[in-house]
Amino acid sequence: MTTTKMPRTMELPRPLKVACPYESAYQADVIVVGCGFAGLNAAVTAKEAGQSVLVIDKGRPGYSGLSPWPSSFRWFDPERGDVAEAYRKAIQEGGDYLSNLNWYEQWIRESKDVYHRLTEWGILAQYPKAAEAGDYYEREDFVGYRETFDRFDRHKKWIEVLNRYEIPFLEHTMVTDVLLEQGAVNGVMGFHVPSGQVIAVSGKAVILATGGGSYKPTGYPTGGDTFDGEYIAYNLGLPIAGKEFEDFHQTPATAPGNVFFDNHWQYLENIWLCGGDVAMENASGYGAAKGNVMVLGRVKKAVYGVPAADGSEIQDVATAQYTRRGGSRVYETDPEEVRSGKMSTPVAASALAGAAVGMCCHLTSGVFCGLEELDGAAGIPGLYTAGDGIHATSPSGAAYPCGVGFTSCFCSIDGMHAGKAAAEYAETAAPAPAAVSAETIAKKTEEITAPLRVEQGFDPNWARDVLHSIMAPYWVTVAKTEPTLCAALTQVEYMRDHVIPKLAAKTSHDLRLCIEMKHKVLSAEMKLRASLARKESRGNHYRSDIPYRDDEKFLCYITVKKGENGMMTEQVPIPAAWAGNTAMPYDKRYHYYFPGEPEAKGFTPPKPKFGGKRG
């Protein structure tokens, strides 16, 4: 008898009906929503502290959100020669003086322990490099490469760790509400996406580790990140910070929607270990080089256009210095040095900024818990936040300086702190709350399933494309002006008031998309209002109509918050100790200048000191 093997590219048929979970009501001391780097570390830490834990993931732990995609991991290691003061200087200057140095100090103290923890879990296991593992690179045998080295695949480690610590988890379950009773957390509600079954969970503490989002995954795999936790927190009255700092990911101009074109080996190879070579003599240059390439270079492409290309240009990063890829020079001579840096296999060149519209600069955006709050306590008893895009820790300021690899490490530290704090709260809180009441379940079920009852309205896929078309232009995301931001805001407000209430769903999958669109439109409004409020240019926020830094007025974080009459913005000044030497002459304080900045401030830009070209 012969069998037919299904081609690898064939999509499996979608089932017409999916069974509901065995249960629809759950209880746990600590509920962790989202299970990426932050959520996994939060869940394990809370369980180690003796509390019962339930993890809820909208996808599948290890495979959803942005956790599958980091390509590097950086930790601080004094035994390998890392210098704390050098990193501090690089982060301060490279982050345009908005870096939260309390969080930086926490990374200094704890990142090495996190490195060992993730290594023991197998998450940092190293693949052989594709260009050195055989002829996979020459034959472009992506599937064969992954299948051969499948034992190193970190994605499956998430569930292995959860099982090791006997932590139950719900997958493909979207949390839509955090429930409060007398001002304190008493659970969450949501629904199992495949079946549509509404889920209620009672608990003492909730950790939102839900990530950030984008408006449409034009070139990066961010479709599952949709600002869910941010939406919940905003509607609970919490302040959201960092929305104005746009992430400038790029794809080739010839294939803007094809993430695999210029990132295939980067995503197929596992996380590469980074760090080293930040010393006092090169600290300024380390931050400046990042700014020249990752901020100024991409802003210029938005202002002046990108070079004509046919898609054939290759970045042979395998021949670049290890420090260019975030690694250590010691790697060249010391076989014990594991910090080789990322992207060791040639990839296609990128030129087009805006591959993931709406995605904020790493670690800057999310719930603002305060300058001194390091545990993610959100200001509501029992509610904590952790991770990229949902907890505005801002350790690397406005521009994500100093090379690569911070995010996965910072998120892990963040998760551990939130898990410990939530467990301590649960330990001392009142006895476990009663199951969510039938009245609350009925009310929330009505709200969650409302799009299923819309008989005439709009498709959420269409609405997503419209929002993307509003937010994607460079004059809205990269080279902003007040008129273009106001024009976009008018359209977003119209969507908020006239499109979102009429989104229609026929299936539970459509229902998820409808709810996510509500979150995305709120995020777009927050981003536009924060961008209007920051009347200067700084890091990954460039106002071409105000092309200079304004240290007197904007050495601060800008938060957006739900007010009585709609969305409001506020400023939170940073401590003077974080601001550097503000008496330094303007043309010497910063290492690169935006297009129009020297003219606006009346100076001639000096020759670049650290590579790249000044604006």
Residue pLDDT, tens place only, 136-164? 888 889 889 989 988 888 899 999 999 99
pLDDT band at 576 (very low <50, low <70, confident <90, very high): very high
Q: What one-character-per-residue DSSP string does 415-456 give?
A: HHHHHHHHHHHHHHSSSPPPPPPHHHHHHHHHHHTGGGG-SS
Predicted pLDDT of residue 14: 59
In a domain, 436, yes or no: no
Separation CA 221–CA 595 (nearest Å): 31
Predicted pLDDT of residue 324: 63
Contact 36, 209 (CB under 8 A): yes
Name residue, tokens 């942005």.
Answer: 66
Whether residue 297 sits in one domain with residue 415? yes
Whether residue 511 sits in one domain with residue 423? no
Whether residue 513 sits in one domain with residue 473? yes
Contact 562, 235 (CB under 8 A): yes
Record the tokens describing residue 511, joined without a space: 């229902």
The pLDDT of residue 610 is above 60: no
Type of residue found at 557? Y
pLDDT band at 246 (very low <50, low <70, confident <90, very high): very high
Predicted pLDDT of residue 12: 57
Type of residue found at 410? F
CATH number at residue 510: 1.20.58.100
Other beta carbons within 10 Å of 131: 17
Whether residue 420 sits in one domain with residue 476? no
Q: Any idea of the CA torsion for 563, 568, 574, 579, to the nearest 10 degrees?
A: 180
How far does the chain reach from its first CA to its final CA, in angstroms? 69
Contact 409, 103 (CB under 8 A): no
Burial category of 499 from C-beta neighbours within 10 Å (exposed 0-12, middle 13-18, buried 19 and up): buried
Separation CA 54–CA 428 (nearest Å): 19
Whether residue 479 sits in one domain with residue 413? no
Record the tokens describing residue 529, joined without a space: 């209002």
Record the tokens describing residue 187, joined without a space: 């659970």
Contact 176, 1 (CB under 8 A): no
Nearest residue to 566 via CA among 534, 531, 535, 529: 529
In a domain, 255, yes or no: yes
The pLDDT of residue 215 is above 80: yes
pLDDT band at 612 (very low <50, low <70, confident <90, very high): very low
Record the tokens describing residue 77, joined without a space: 């290691």
Predicted pLDDT of residue 318: 56
In a domain, 50, yes or no: yes
Type of residue found at 35? C
Predicted pLDDT of residue 613: 42
- pLDDT > 70 fraction of the chain, expressed in percent and rounded: 92
In a domain, 485, yes or no: yes
Predicted pLDDT of residue 166: 97
Task: Quote the DSSP letter at residue 10.
Answer: P
Record the tokens describing residue 412, joined without a space: 């892990």
In a domain, 351, yes or no: yes
Q: What pLDDT digit, counting tens, does each position of 443-456 carry?
A: 999 999 999 999 99
CA angle 445–501–65, rounded 5-degree value: 70
Q: Mean pLDDT lowest for which of 120-129, 212-221, 413-422?
A: 212-221
Whether residue 461 sits in one domain with residue 317? no
Q: What range does the domain containing 540 cover?
A: 445-555
Separation CA 366–CA 395 (nearest Å): 13
- pLDDT > 90 fraction of the chain, expressed in percent and rounded: 63
Q: How far is CA 129 from the centre of its chain?
A: 26
Predicted pLDDT of residue 114: 97
Whether residue 503 sits in one domain with residue 365? no
**The last residue of a domain, from among 532, 555, 578:** 555
The pLDDT of residue 316 is above 70: no
Task: Quote the DSSP letter at residue 152.
Answer: G
Q: What pLDDT digit, counting tens, does each position of 490-524 carry?
A: 999 999 999 999 999 999 999 999 999 999 999 99
Residues 6+ apart with CB under 8 A from 162: 35, 40, 43, 55, 61, 168, 169
Whether residue 418 sits in one domain with residue 388? yes
Q: Does residue 500 sit in helix, strand or coil?
A: helix
Separation CA 187–CA 201 (nearest Å): 5
Residue 515: CA count within 13 A, CB half-sphere: 28
In a domain, 11, yes or no: no
314-341: average pLDDT: 72
pLDDT band at 321 (very low <50, low <70, confident <90, very high): low
Other beta carbons within 10 Å of 557: 24
Other beta carbons within 10 Å of 142: 16
Other beta carbons within 10 Å of 602: 8
Element (H, E) at 89: helix 84-94
CA angle 147–148–152, rounded 5-degree value: 85
Element (H, E) at 259: helix 259-268
Separation CA 298–CA 305 (nearest Å): 10
Separation CA 350–CA 314 (nearest Å): 9
Separation CA 555–CA 560 (nearest Å): 16
**Torsional sign, CA 381, 383, 388, 390:** negative
Give the range with max mean pLDDT: 331-340, 400-409, 530-539: 530-539
The pLDDT of residue 340 is above 90: no
Predicted pLDDT of residue 500: 98
400: left (phi over 0), alpha (psi -120 to 50) or beta: left
Q: What pLDDT digit, counting tens, does each position of 28-51 carry?
A: 999 999 999 999 999 999 999 999
In a domain, 101, yes or no: yes
Whether residue 331 sits in one domain with residue 272? yes
Separation CA 504–CA 495 (nearest Å): 14
**The last residue of a domain, from among 428, 459, 483:** 428
Q: What pLDDT digit, counting tens, does each position of 286-311 carry?
A: 877 778 877 888 898 888 888 777 66
211-231: average pLDDT: 88
Other beta carbons within 10 Å of 493: 16
Contact 482, 532 (CB under 8 A): yes
**The last residue of a domain, from among 502, 532, 555:** 555
Element (H, E) at 88: helix 84-94
Structure-model confidence comparison of residues 503 and 331, the more confident one: 503
Record the tokens describing residue 238, joined without a space: 């919490």
Nearest residue to 477 via CA among 273, 302, 350, 610: 302
Predicted pLDDT of residue 1: 43
In a domain, 578, yes or no: no
Other beta carbons within 10 Å of 132: 11
Whether residue 517 sits in one domain with residue 414? no
Whether residue 130 sits in one domain with residue 52? yes
What pTM was computed for the model? 0.94
Q: Based on the structure, what is the number of domains in the chain?
A: 2
Separation CA 567–CA 560 (nearest Å): 7
Other beta carbons within 10 Å of 335: 6
Q: What pLDDT digit, counting tens, does each position of 362-409 carry?
A: 999 999 999 999 999 999 999 999 999 999 999 989 988 776 789 999
Mean of per-residue pLDDT scores for the chain: 89
CATH number at residue 388: 3.50.50.60
Q: Does residue 277 sit in helix, strand or coil?
A: coil
User: 3-class secondary structure for 368-415?
Assistant: CCCCCCCCCECCCCCEEECCCCCECCCCCCCCCCCCCCHHHHHHHHHH
Whether residue 373 sits in one domain with residue 467? no
Query: What is the pairing mode between strands 25-33 and 198-208?
Result: parallel
Separation CA 607–CA 292 (nearest Å): 13
Predicted pLDDT of residue 285: 81
